[in-house]
Amino acid sequence: MAMNDTLAAALSNILNAEKVGKPSCIVKPISKITKAVFDIMKENHYIGEYTIVDDGKGGYFEINLIGGINKCGAIKPRFSARMEEYDKFEKRFLLSKDFGLMIVSTSQGIMTQIQAKEKNIGGKLLAYIY
């Protein structure tokens, strides 16, 4: 089976494991974008620690779940958002203002929409989580 969107697959994998109450889950394959998104999720206490395991076949993440996720997912298509458009997309993807995060790929790296607003830069929307 060909996998087109590793980030979407990873997030739905985590969400499914979280819903059934598993303490951890395995996400494969590894990608730089997925790792950056997991770093943001960890910083904001949505997931616990994770380890990267190299199995010689693309590797995988082993993630400790802490029950912090209500919903998460990839944003398809990856909309371009200008600085002043973040509020519009927050209304669309998040439950309420200041509740949850959107993860954005910008020219200065992958960050949350809050950090992007502070730096006054737009970017492509990758994922949401709350």
Which domain range does residue 14 map to? 6-65
- On whether the CB atoms of residues 64 and 49 are closer than 8 A, the answer is yes
Overall number of domains in the chain: 2
Residue 70 lies in a domain: no
Choose the final residue of a domain: 65, 89, 114: 65
- CATH code (residue 96): 3.30.1490.10
The continuous run of DSSP H or E covering 54 comes out as none
Mean pLDDT by runs of 10 across the 130 residues of the chain is 84 96 95 97 97 94 96 96 95 91 97 97 97
Give the tokens for residue 62: 């082993």
Q: Answer yes or no: do 56 and 80 share one domain.
A: no
- CATH code (residue 36): 3.30.1370.30
Residue 89 lies in a domain: yes
Identity of the amino acid at 126: L
pLDDT (tens digit per residue) in 56-89: 998 999 999 999 999 999 999 999 999 999 999 9
pLDDT at 2: 58
Q: Answer yes or no: do 47 and 84 share one domain.
A: no
Q: Which of 2, 63, 17, 9 is nearest to 33 (CA)?
A: 9
pLDDT at 3: 74
Q: Answer yes or no: do 58 and 79 share one domain.
A: no
